Structure 1
């Protein structure tokens, strides 16, 4: 059992939690909890840690999974040091990062509906990890087939993002790109219509046909889309709001648009 918070492996896990550079260099990220471990593809899991307290109350099925991974027992103090949460669940794993190609994201693939047209989220400078994680989670629920992020967006492997995805990180293809307007040009050439959520939109979001290949553009929480990116979109679309509300939360906007596409595709 690892009982010292100064253990080298413990320090390494802490660096993965705290530093995106460490995660990039070792090509890993950290997940917490038995639910996330169950959802993780077996070949992606590099190492697992568990507390005796968790093992004492674990089901035989959970113990079998932990045994299969060769989970390393650690003290409660060590787990608290390694975990990103205030009240650790008692299970933590280091997982290998995913690497998708541009083609995989643009072409799209929906496991639930293999014939569905691509449905893509293009996210520019999304900063809040909770928002980004929620977008992955709600996007999966709406049938989003891929996500394109600007280099100025939050690190998708930030522990707060990972928690918010609730497992969608394992199933949602994504790429980071340097040039969002250039990527929009590629989408247009691939036959994908692009729609920018924008206050200058003249038509409401539910007036368009999203059964065809579609990409929605969502901008920064405070500033929205940059002018260059918004101007490169095929259409501006508006989410109408009542009262004195001037803008919509980025994750909420994403959910509204993608679930409208989902509704149309079910009809």
Structure 2
């Protein structure tokens, strides 16, 4: 249940577009009297412990758009959550109040920038749900669609096209429900005949997604997974350089944000579990550094349970440069290591904080240790000196969020 009084207070506190807020307040007052929205606003909110973002969809019939969209967000995470909540098949006119918002919109929607007498706007529709969506059967391996998605098997292809592949009924189903920007789905004829296949494909058709039926041979030529999955999908997700975004002032945080830095995590299953934990703990973004496992590895995607696609992800070749940039901006950066003198319960997490976790075997790099504001350890009973990186990240992040609630 949305508390509209809190929504209005949040919009006014964040200095949102005064005209847009005024129109919404008037519509809300009408709703309070008549129990009917006029115009028929749709309101989306995000935030776990507090309100972090609001998206107002105001019906319109100009500029070839279905909705005038007013976004007010305080973090990278809240912006992405609201963008993937934007309904498929509809065109929105997004006010570009800040440059960083335009960059993030283009990751979820496809469209163009237009100029009006009231400013710059991005007119877009959710990726993969445009009127160009199609449904057809592909019987040969030499096909442009098959070639396009086969390129995503390599990390180079994923980064070049800003897409990754998800495999399996449950993961694809969740991606559709979550509203991720799915470019296309490929499925086998056998899957189409199953009860769960009929439900999923009917849902995909209603979302105006492109569907391609292939045989097992074609599917097997696309993925190395065995047994061959019955359905796969390509999802759009950029993976920008942290320092480039940060220095261009396109990286946005509120004072109470949480950032996780994962340095050289080598096992994709461990990385996926760490990302899943970060997602559950409400982190604003995850920065991956060094030459560890790719977040787009199929094992990482599976273990993340949807976190890859929902969470804003950034990369940097080395963590020390990113840590220094955060220091300059007033962040404290805490490195997790078993040899630290400071214990977790004694730390002050009420400041903007980044947590750094390191490689499963070697821990934090020497450079990262030297750059951190403080080093911290998780107190443990005798007999164990370390924890799985995903477990350690969970303990650290939940202590941080606990202090934020106080």
Per the shorter chain, which TM-score range?
0.7 to 0.9
Q: Which moved more, 1:236-245 or 1:94-103?
A: 94-103
1:245–1:229 distance in 2 versus 1, CA, 3 Å: same
The one-character-per-residue Cα deviations of 1:226-246 (angstroms, maximum 9, x if unpaired) are 111101111111112234323
- Higher fraction of strand: 2
| Gapped regions of structure 2 (runs ≥ 5) | 1-136
**Structure 2 residue 25 is matched with structure 1 residue 25:** no
**Structure 2 residue 378 is matched with structure 1 residue 239:** yes
What is the match of residue 352 of structure 2?
A: 213
1:200–1:238: 8 Å Cα contact kept in structure 2?
A: yes
1:21–1:148 distance in 2 versus 1, CA, 3 Å: same
1:242–1:14 distance in 2 versus 1, CA, 3 Å: farther
Partner SS, residue 359 of structure 2: coil
Measure the CA separation in 2 of the matches of 1:84 and 1:108.
39
Q: Find the partner of 2:283 among 120, 137, 144.
A: 144
**Structure 2 residue 260 is matched with structure 1 residue 121:** yes
Indicate the structure whose relative CO is greater, using CA pairs within 8 Å and at least 6 residues apart: 1
Cα RMSD (Å): 2.5
What is the match of residue 188 of structure 2?
A: 51
1:88–1:211 distance in 2 versus 1, CA, 3 Å: farther
Partner SS, residue 156 of structure 1: coil
**Structure 2 residue 175 is matched with structure 1 residue 37:** yes
The one-character-per-residue Cα deviations of 1:5-36 (angstroms, maximum 9, x if unpaired) are 5656445534423x212222333210123324
The one-character-per-residue Cα deviations of 1:197-217 (angstroms, maximum 9, x if unpaired) are 112211211211213211111
- Where do 1:166-245 residues align within 5 Å? 166-245=305-384
**Structure 2 residue 155 is matched with structure 1 residue 16:** no
Partner SS, residue 193 of structure 2: helix
> How many residues end up aligned between the 2 structures?
258
| Gapped regions of structure 1 (runs ≥ 5) | 110-115
What is the match of residue 249 of structure 1?
A: 388
1:208–1:104 distance in 2 versus 1, CA, 3 Å: farther
Partner SS, residue 212 of structure 1: coil
Partner SS, residue 400 of structure 2: helix
**Structure 2 residue 219 is matched with structure 1 residue 65:** no
**Deviation at 1:61?**
4.9
**Deviation at 1:164?**
1.6
